[in-house]
């Protein structure tokens, strides 16, 4: 272990080592796979602060993924992210917005003809500057 970030940088870790470290960090601090089981334990055996921190990390990662996908115009990834956000919006009382997103995706995938779907996907996000990472939602 290193005592500070400078000493860590001086050790010049290899890419595969950084990837392994990142995977361990994600598994420890962003994994909610066993959270339901943890919440069944008696209160004295639980770390509720850590559980809540894990949930926050997961939500922040979801936001980061959606933001990145939108900035780079990756509409397929945006659609995938929206699927995760719909129940989150519903659980926070944003039922109208969640219902709109749900209906939009259903229409896009099962109702509209392919040509219209193509046009919608290519016009949801725009990049007027042409710079990488500068897409914006059309409001």
Q: Determine what percent of the chain is predicted with pLDDT higher than 70.
A: 100
Model pLDDT for residues 85-109, shown as the tens digit of each residue:
999 999 999 999 999 999 999 999 9
Pick from 31, 66, 67, 68: nearest CA to 50:
31
Model pLDDT for residues 54-90, shown as the tens digit of each residue:
989 999 999 999 999 999 999 999 999 999 999 999 9
Mean pLDDT of 28-44: 83
**What 8-state DSSP symbol labels residue 34?**
T
Length of the chain: 139
pLDDT of residue 33: 78
CA distance 118 to 10: 50
Alpha-carbon torsion angle 23, 12, 9, 60, nearest 10: -20
Asked if 103 and 112 count as a contact pair (C-beta separation under 8 A), the reply is no
Query: Band of the pLDDT at 39, cuts 50, 70, 90?
Result: confident
């Amino acid at each position: 272990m290193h005592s500070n970030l400078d000493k860590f940088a001086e050790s010049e870790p290899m890419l595969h080592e950084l990837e392994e470290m990142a995977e361990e960090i994600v598994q420890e601090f962003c994994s909610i796979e066993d959270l339901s089981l943890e919440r069944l334990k008696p209160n004295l055996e639980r770390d509720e602060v850590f559980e809540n921190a894990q949930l926050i990390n997961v939500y922040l990662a979801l936001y980061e993924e959606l933001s990145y996908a939108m900035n780079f115009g990756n509409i397929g990834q945006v659609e995938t992210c929206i699927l995760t956000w719909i129940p989150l919006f519903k659980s926070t009382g944003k039922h109208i917005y969640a219902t709109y997103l749900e209906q939009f995706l259903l229409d896009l995938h099962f109702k509209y003809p392919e040509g219209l779907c193509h046009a919608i996907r290519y016009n949801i996000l725009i990049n007027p500057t042409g710079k990488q990472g500068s897409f914006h939602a059309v409001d």
